[in-house]
Amino acid sequence: MTAAFLEVREVSKRYGPTLALDRVSFDVQEGEVFGLLGPNGAGKTTLLSIVSCLLGPTSGEVRLLGRPVAPSDRQIRCLIGIVPQELALYSELTAQENLCFFGELYGIRGPELRRRVRRILAAIGLEDKANDRVRTFSGGMKRRLNLGVALVHGPRLLLLDEPTVGVDPQSRNRIFEEVRRLNGEGMTLVYTSHYMEEVQALCSRIGIMDRGRLAACDTLPRLLQTLPGTIRFRVTPLTPALRERLKELPDALLCEREGQLLELECSDVKLALVELMRLLQQEGAALAHLDIEEPNLERVFLHLTGRQLRD
């Protein structure tokens, strides 16, 4: 079995009495977009800091391409690009100067640097603002440049820490497009967010973090499968015979609520709905009210942690 592109093994990080990360383990395969979903304070940024060589773990190990990641390892840093949660740009430099500066720090110079800078400016939609100082940019433009700076040295692993916080929809779409494009070119990405929709839209696998722990880690469908769907309905007339037949529906559990509201909990909502309709037709009953609730990440998070994602 080949080693994963990124391996995080039993990583813990303690700040004095505070345990910021508690034995977190997961793998990321090459070419994958891995999402880390969790509320503020869940430990996502600490984890990314460890993966990007900014911090050392208190215990555990991170490996990239089978090689241990350590703050003192300068070579491995060239493989990693990080988009910090806070904007990390020199506001008195132009967009082009920011990109060139960080490119030069990674040893890229001359025509190659100029070529890369041009390409990145085009990709993030800031070609016409190349020579404007960053302080004149809107929040969304700064976010895009923040992403561009992390790409200038051509990393193989890109770590994005809440890259869309406080941006306008246009810039958010630009960032999404860029993430997809980069992934399409084979880049591996770790994307943290507390926006469920973003993670759902971009990531092939998702780790759910809360209070420093990795509560779950899987593909989206498999995460959703851990929760039942719910069909709420009223029928007229609700005869005892109908009630008995509803209880016998396969892979479904009938609950009765107040006001003759019935609730079917089922692992496959679509299949259960087809069965329900067929039964009602056979019994000559009419559907007076119907409400379907399918599982989503929000509910998965609530189920796993006992609290809302945006608490």
- Which residue spans within the chain are E strands per DSSP? 6-15, 18-28, 33-37, 59-64, 67-68, 80-83, 157-161, 188-193, 205-210, 213-219, 229-236, 252-256, 262-266, 286-293
| CB nearer another protein, residue 55 or residue 196 | 55
Residue 257 has a CB neighbour count (10 Å cut-off) of 10
Measured from the CB of residue 187, what is the shortest distance to another protein in angstroms? Answer: 17
- Which of residues 54 and 65 has its CB atom nearest to another protein in the complex? 54
Q: Is the CB of 45 or the CB of 305 nearer to another protein?
A: 45
Minimum distance from CB of 146 to another protein (Å)? 9
Q: Give whichever of 152 and 199 is closer to another protein, judged by the CB atom.
A: 152
Residue placing its CB nearer to another protein in the complex, 147 or 276: 147
Residue whose C-alpha is closest to residue 128's, from 170, 96, 175, 92: 96
Q: CB of residue 143 vs another protein: minimum separation in angstroms?
A: 13
Site residues for another protein per CB under 8 A: 52-55, 74-75, 77-78, 80, 82, 84, 86-93, 97, 101-102, 104-107, 109, 133, 149
Q: Which is nearer to another protein, 80 or 220 (CB)?
A: 80
> Are 81 and 157 contacting, i.e. CB atoms less than 8 angstroms apart?
yes
Q: Closest separation between CB of residue 162 and another protein, Å?
A: 13
Smallest gap, in angstroms, from Cβ of residue 91 to another protein? 7
Q: Beta-strand (E) ranges in 130-210?
A: 157-161, 188-193, 205-210
Distance, CA of 295 to CA of 300 (rounded, Å)? 7
- E strands, 65-187, in order: 67-68, 80-83, 157-161
> What letter represents residue 124's amino acid?
I
